[in-house]
Structure 1
Amino acid sequence: MSSTNFESLVKQWLDIDINPITRGQIEKLWAEKDTTTLTHLLASRISFGTAGLRAKMEAGFNRLNDVTVLQASQGLAKYVQEQISQPHKGVAVVGHDHRHNSREFAKITAVVFGIAGYKVKFLEFKDDSEGASSTLVATPFVPFAVDLFHADVGVMITASHNPAADNGYKVYWNNGCQIIPPHDSGIANAILENLQPWNGVWESYKNFDDFQGDIEFVKESVTKDFYQTLKAKVVLDVGFTNNDYQQLKFVYTPMHGVGHEFVVPIFEDLFKLSENINYHVVKDQASPDPDFKTVRFPNPEEKGALDCAIQTANDENVDLIIANDPDADRFSAAVRDKETGQFRQLTGNEIGFLFANYVIDQKVASGEDLSKVFIVNSTVSSQMIGSMAKKLGFNFCDTLTGFKWIGNKAISLINEGYDVPFGYEEAIGFMFGNVHDKDGLAATTVFLQLYYHYVIKQGISLTDKLEDGFKKFGYFKEFNGYYKFSDLTITEKIFGKIRSSYVNQPQNIGDFKCTYWRDLTIGYESLTPDHFPLLPADSSSQMITGILEPKNADDGQFVRFTARGSGTEPKLKVYIEGKSNTEASAAEFAKNVWFTLRKEWFKPDEYNLEEVHP
């Protein structure tokens, strides 16, 4: 790129940006003639996808900052108005978490929608006398509010459990679900048509308290409605009496996020629990902290993330730990192993099975017809739920990865007359009846009921409950992991080389026989009559699923895997699940497939990949 082009890009940025910090970053780089960094920041645009936007916060068209949030909001506002059939200009919900710049990004978003003529439902208290907490919400509040207000669009500013340097712009459609194609590409095109700041946007943002647009501060009313709906739809315990739950004792961590504020009404109002008697909060992680000081990576699934919670549990002599991720849309749990005395963190699939089992138990107890019940999970999650469905008589289906697909499928099934009480994805995301998205607050509510029902009331440990499920429905054991890299072209290179090694599908991979093949990138599925896949194909993403049989496999022994490129991070994710007649052999089959795919396909040394697995 020539110096003139660099100068043009720098001028484009400085003509738009009013933030002195990000302006200064570009000015400094230009003064130093750091063309390498300027190329990364300015030469390409941050891409808008079904996950919205997510990136590191710094200057540049390829990062998340005031400018790119403004441009995204302008494009989104215009696109949604084009889709609205009603004569009004629209209703928009806007919320944010505690990350650096989250509130500023939310204010920019609210101003843009206000200038576009929307009625904006802003998830803050009008009176900020309660301090920082008056401005924050958990992510599930946005899809809930979209449903509550019959809004046309919702935006949540959060990067969920990404590192502290990141932030994100998550978009919900008018059905309370994250957006799916073709809206993502439609919004992306609308953004490109609305790059220049509209008249009055920056001035209104700088004078937000005096902005004359139609902005209503609704956190107080939405919070009240949220808990009423939670109680009505997520208290599943037949014959529920909150006084029964006094025997619960556990440790809770919000992982430096917003969750603490929102679980207290669940603990104290719904279950009548008392802090320091029934529950203990990890003190160093209790308050919202955008720097996540005690964890390297603020994801409850990551190794070491629960160390502080385990220390607190040991100090308080309790056997259960529950956790939310920083924006409280995910949930995790760990239980003490009675034999070793050590804590065992449950996987997303294990929690998913326990939830499904509990939900069906309560449906049976209430006398519901299971033939009208559907449970949904993503295709990278455990197929154990499908095995349960066949034996117990309820319905099951899987979807593409992501709650945008799980939520939309649930709505479709509900419209067909089915009850969809639960859906999940293995990445500790769980959906119940209050929203059509993952909700860590609802998951917390159900898990406490589940724990009381099985462990306290029936005297069955959760590990024994899992073992009982394996005996009934088959031993399913996962071996999931991922490969990290810096060169974003790596994913296409790897998958391109994989496809060049066979025609339609491989006959064998290493010592495993391939019995089923689905490639949603090219639109192929081996077992359908026309080889057209049952799930939607998407040429813009990489995703292959296969079923492999070990040599001399017994009936019902197989390994199912999915390899896909991440939609939000520079990762190649691999999900592997073995099924066998013992836990040990199922685990061994899954592990062997990981190392077979590593050798045959992913070759971390050749592609310079960082390998992460159990």
Structure 2
Amino acid sequence: MDQKSLSSLVETWLQWDQDPRTRAEIEHLRDTNDENALELCLRNRIEFGTAGLRGRMAAGFSCMNSLIVIQASQGLAKYIRTQRPEIAAKGIVIGYDARHNSRRFAELAANAFIALQIPVYFFSQCGPTPMVPFGINHFEAAAGIMVTASHNPPQDNGYKVYSSNGAQINRPEDGEIAQSIRDSLEPWPGAWDELQPGKYLHADAYENIILSYRARVKEHALSSIPSWKDLSSFVYTPLHGVGGLVLPDVCNSLEVHDFLSVPLQSAPDPEFPTVKFPNPEETGALDLAIQTADQEGRTLIIANDPDADRFAAAEKVNGEWFLFTGNHMGVLLGSHVLDSLTSEGLSKATLLTTTVSSSMLEKMAKSKGAQFQETLTGFKWMGNVARDLERTGKTVPFAYEEALGYMFPSVCYDKDGITAAAVFLVAYAKWRSQGLTAQAKLQQLFGEFGHHETLNNYFRSPSPHLTVELFRGIRSGPFLASKTLGPFKILRWRDLTQGFDSASSDNKPDLPEDSTSQMLTLWLDGGVRFTIRGSGTEPKVKFYIESCGASRDDAVKAVCETFLTILTEWVQKYTPSMNHSSRLSTSSGHILDMEK
């Protein structure tokens, strides 16, 4: 927290900010003596955290705006020039999506690197997020920036940072960059200038890599199948994002032609006018695609989120639409990848997923003779773990997380909704040739590895203090000592906040601990595992419950009992003012109506 007087903060902002819109916002608040609003936007600084910055676009140090982008870029440029001088000359890749201000933010970012004579590979047009990590490896660059807020609402934007290995930055690099930003807050001369041609600006980066990216996606997708005949007829929606600028060309290169883009959602539009939230996970996000598919007699829908790093699909089976969850798609794609590997390839392969994703991928990998590794949540972990494994001679053909993110490292080391769509279409054709729908293939996998049912949702936490109170109550309760939680027996207790795991010989977890966050994972009898954690970016306590049973009904029953136990034994007992959604849907569509 900045200890300066409020008037000093206003003066500093107006001294540094040269954007007329955000200057006018602060001037209006000053002139109307709105001290509360000024405190909110100036007192606390937006946190440089998971892979960078993300937040609402508005004036002030707590929001996303041009000054914040300049400061972040100066700090990153200075970090690369001083801490990594041996690779600074390799340059940085800068891309952006179609959101409001994305191109302007990208241009301001470029100025900072050019000021320190660091070459900039600048995208001439908006494009998908995965093209930036792909571009880092293509150009052998020192770093990358993608200006995007992914699937956030239209008033948000963000600033995503990648390291020289093409993966999102992680510890301790993120903290070092954050400190460099704090040391570089005053805008440098020329920071606000329009981006100009010059020796250090390569403004044709997009044109240089788009053909290579599309070719690599095609090559990767077709490498997983011995012979190819398209059996797809589908509707596609990019949800007003940039996926529509790339995926149709990828489909055409695969000789996939029988598809229809949702007309009202096919072109980039930063207002996202037809959806409440431009996230294919959200209820209602695919309604227009479903309506289009029904009108056109199509039974398959594929979707990207606005920056095309996530992928989703839905299939009409027996007259009803089935929306695949991230875990469903993860095991479907994982099965296809495993089936495509030779015995030698399987012996070298390691598949990855996060601690809050389904355990089913581990069972599938080990049944085929491949290795499996669990990581913390987010692709900043999976991308870097994949790189580490490759240095030991291993291969990582596939990784995924439950939030519709899928990584194929032979293309890039981040989630990639374009490649995921291409691989899915190839896999879908294979399943159809075997007489299976994608949903039938999923049921076949459940029959082999047990029916896995998941319930991922959240409790709304009014304050970080309340979140800490909840976890303090859980840890001080009798549960770990008695090894019971309501009707369940606790088989294993892992606390990554305190660095404890009851299953290891030294009680140390095999995943990194983090005392700054709250995260517990419990394994219960009856095939149940769940994680509860405090969100780092939202006022929420998130939970992820999974049960494996002999039937769907058994698995759903266990998931529901686990949720009710968490609610009554933990949330209502230790934080009775914490709210939860009254309608929770399991992954198979079961609706649980439970008022607090």
With structure 2 as the length reference, what TM-score do the two structures score?
0.94
Query: Which position in structure 1 is the counterpart of 2:100?
Result: 100
Q: How does 1:381-530 map to 2 (within 5 A)?
A: 381-432=357-408, 433-455=410-432, 457-502=433-478, 507-530=483-506
* Paired residues of 1:236 and 1:446 also in contact (CA < 8 A): no
- Equivalents in 1 of 2:5, 2:199: separation in Å? 39
The one-letter amino acid of 1:75's match is G
* Paired residues of 1:485 and 1:571 also in contact (CA < 8 A): yes
- Equivalents in 1 of 2:244, 2:211: separation in Å? 16
> Tell me, which stretches of 5 or more residues in structure 2 are unaligned?
586-596
The one-letter amino acid of 1:452's match is A
SS of 1:22's partner is helix
The one-letter amino acid of 1:119's match is P
* Paired residues of 1:115 and 1:213 also in contact (CA < 8 A): no
SS of 2:86's partner is coil
- Equivalents in 2 of 1:513, 1:172: separation in Å? 43
Residue 575 (1) aligns with residue 544 (2)? yes
Q: Cα distance, 1:87 vs. partner?
A: 6.8
Query: Which position in structure 1 is the counterpart of 2:303?
Result: 323
Query: Which position in structure 2 is the counterpart of 1:592?
Result: 561
- Equivalents in 1 of 2:335, 2:542: separation in Å? 27
Query: Which position in structure 1 is the counterpart of 2:71?
Result: 71
145 and 11 in structure 1: CA distance in 2 versus 1, 3 angstrom threshold: same
- Equivalents in 2 of 1:355, 1:560: separation in Å? 22
* Paired residues of 2:51 and 2:162 also in contact (CA < 8 A): no
* Paired residues of 1:50 and 1:181 also in contact (CA < 8 A): no
- Equivalents in 2 of 1:322, 1:475: separation in Å? 24
Structure 1 residue corresponding to 2:222, chosen from 235, 246, 255: 235
* Paired residues of 1:505 and 1:517 also in contact (CA < 8 A): no
The one-letter amino acid of 2:524's match is L
Query: Which position in structure 2 is the counterpart of 1:561?
Result: 530
Q: RMSD over aligned Cα, in angstroms? A: 2.0
Structure 2 residue corresponding to 1:606, chosen from 571, 576, 583: 576
Q: Cα distance, 1:303 vs. partner?
A: 0.3
67 and 211 in structure 1: CA distance in 2 versus 1, 3 angstrom threshold: farther
SS of 2:278's partner is coil
Query: Which position in structure 2 is the counterpart of 1:183?
Result: 173
Query: Which position in structure 2 is the counterpart of 1:311?
Result: 291
- Equivalents in 1 of 2:45, 2:345: separation in Å? 51
Deviations 1:268-296 (A, max 9, x none): 122x233xxx1011111111111111111
Deviates more, 1:562-571 or 1:296-305: 562-571
Query: Which position in structure 2 is the counterpart of 1:130?
Result: none
- Equivalents in 2 of 1:184, 1:42: separation in Å? 23
Q: How does 1:278-289 map to 2 (within 5 A)?
A: 278-289=258-269
- Equivalents in 2 of 1:109, 1:397: separation in Å? 36
- Equivalents in 2 of 1:325, 1:548: separation in Å? 35
Query: Which position in structure 2 is the counterpart of 1:132?
Result: none
Q: Which runs of 4+ in 1 moved over 6 A?
A: 1-4
SS of 2:341's partner is helix
* Paired residues of 1:482 and 1:613 also in contact (CA < 8 A): no
Query: Which position in structure 2 is the counterpart of 1:142?
Result: 132
- Equivalents in 1 of 2:91, 2:407: separation in Å? 25
50 and 4 in structure 1: CA distance in 2 versus 1, 3 angstrom threshold: closer
Q: How does 1:88-237 map to 2 (within 5 A)?
A: 88-124=88-124, 135-202=125-192, 204=193, 207-209=194-196, 213-237=200-224
20 and 240 in structure 1: CA distance in 2 versus 1, 3 angstrom threshold: same
Q: Cα distance, 1:579 vs. partner?
A: 1.3
- Equivalents in 2 of 1:574, 1:4: separation in Å? 39
334 and 174 in structure 1: CA distance in 2 versus 1, 3 angstrom threshold: same
Deviates more, 1:351-360 or 1:485-494: 485-494
Structure 2 residue corresponding to 1:267, chosen from 248, 251, 261: 251
Query: Which position in structure 2 is the counterpart of 1:127?
Result: none
- Equivalents in 1 of 2:490, 2:566: separation in Å? 13
* Paired residues of 1:81 and 1:90 also in contact (CA < 8 A): no
Query: Which position in structure 2 is the counterpart of 1:128?
Result: none
- Equivalents in 2 of 1:413, 1:2: separation in Å? 42
Q: Cα distance, 1:387 vs. partner?
A: 1.4
Q: Cα distance, 1:212 vs. partner?
A: 6.3
> Tell me, which stretches of 5 or more residues in structure 1 are unaligned?
125-134, 550-556
- Equivalents in 2 of 1:145, 1:64: separation in Å? 25
Q: Cα distance, 1:497 vs. partner?
A: 2.4
SS of 2:397's partner is strand
- Equivalents in 2 of 1:48, 1:496: separation in Å? 27
* Paired residues of 2:466 and 2:575 also in contact (CA < 8 A): no
Deviates more, 1:485-494 or 1:63-72: 485-494
Deviates more, 1:498-507 or 1:188-197: 498-507
Structure 2 residue corresponding to 1:253, chosen from 237, 243, 248: 237
* Paired residues of 1:90 and 1:117 also in contact (CA < 8 A): no
Deviations 1:164-199 (A, max 9, x none): 111111000110000111111111111110010112
- Equivalents in 1 of 2:75, 2:503: separation in Å? 41
The one-letter amino acid of 2:331's match is F
80 and 88 in structure 1: CA distance in 2 versus 1, 3 angstrom threshold: closer
- Equivalents in 1 of 2:508, 2:566: separation in Å? 25
The one-letter amino acid of 2:547's match is G
The one-letter amino acid of 2:539's match is P
- Equivalents in 1 of 2:548, 2:498: separation in Å? 28
* Paired residues of 1:138 and 1:329 also in contact (CA < 8 A): yes
- Equivalents in 1 of 2:298, 2:281: separation in Å? 20
SS of 2:179's partner is helix
Same amino acid, percent of matched pairs:
43
Deviations 1:553-587 (A, max 9, x none): xxxx3210011122333322111100122221112
